[in-house]
A = this chain, B = another copy of it.
Amino acid sequence: MSSTPKHRRIAIGSDHAGFELKEWLKAKLIEAGYECQDFGTDSPQSCDYPDFSFAVAQAVVSGQCDTGILVCGTGIGTSIAANKVRGARCALCWNEYTARMARSHNDANILALGARVIGAELAWEIVKVWLETPFSGEERHCRRLQKISQMEGEGISPQEAKTTC
């Protein structure tokens, strides 16, 4: 890698199903020298994943943090919710390959993980790849990201977009 990624301030969050893994990953990240801002939840008690997804996504798109990590049971709910935030590109990854592609091809800024589906050690390997892989910056990937941004900017559904254009 030619450039060192600067993902030093990490926004982390989870629901109850992801609580234990979030705590475990947070400890590993701090031990590895990263700064973690924990947006909760702070217990294994039942709660709603969108609350934490939105908080982490906001911290990332606002520039308060450099990247985000979200954990729920499968990673699905939290990734759907996070992607509703303008500027958020949340990638659900389940192995190192998907993490590498999410960063290098999709310039994803939030990682979603499923605590009921993957083991903790694999999760940590995925996080390491995530933090160490820069966006490739290739033109075709930039063009695709711009198409996503454009859709977001319209703030409307594509159907409505068609009607108004």
Contacts and interface: CB of A to CB of B under 8 A. Distances in A.
Interface of A: 46, 48-51, 54-55, 57-58, 61-62, 73-74, 76-77, 79-81, 83-87, 89-98, 101-102, 105-106, 108, 114-122, 125, 140, 143-144, 147-148, 151-152, 155-159, 162
Contacts of A117: 95, 97-98, 118-119, 121-122
Contacts of A115: 119
20 contacts: A48-B144, A50-B148, A50-B151, A58-B157, A58-B159, A58-B162, A61-B159, A62-B159, A74-B105, A76-B98, A79-B91, A81-B144, A81-B147, A83-B84, A95-B97, A97-B125, A116-B120, A117-B119, A118-B119, A118-B122
B101 A73 contact: yes
A96 B97 CA distance: 7
B81 A148 contact: yes
A118 B151 CA distance: 29
Given A85-B151, A92-B92, 6 more contacts: A76-B105, A76-B106, A77-B106, A116-B122, A117-B118, A118-B118
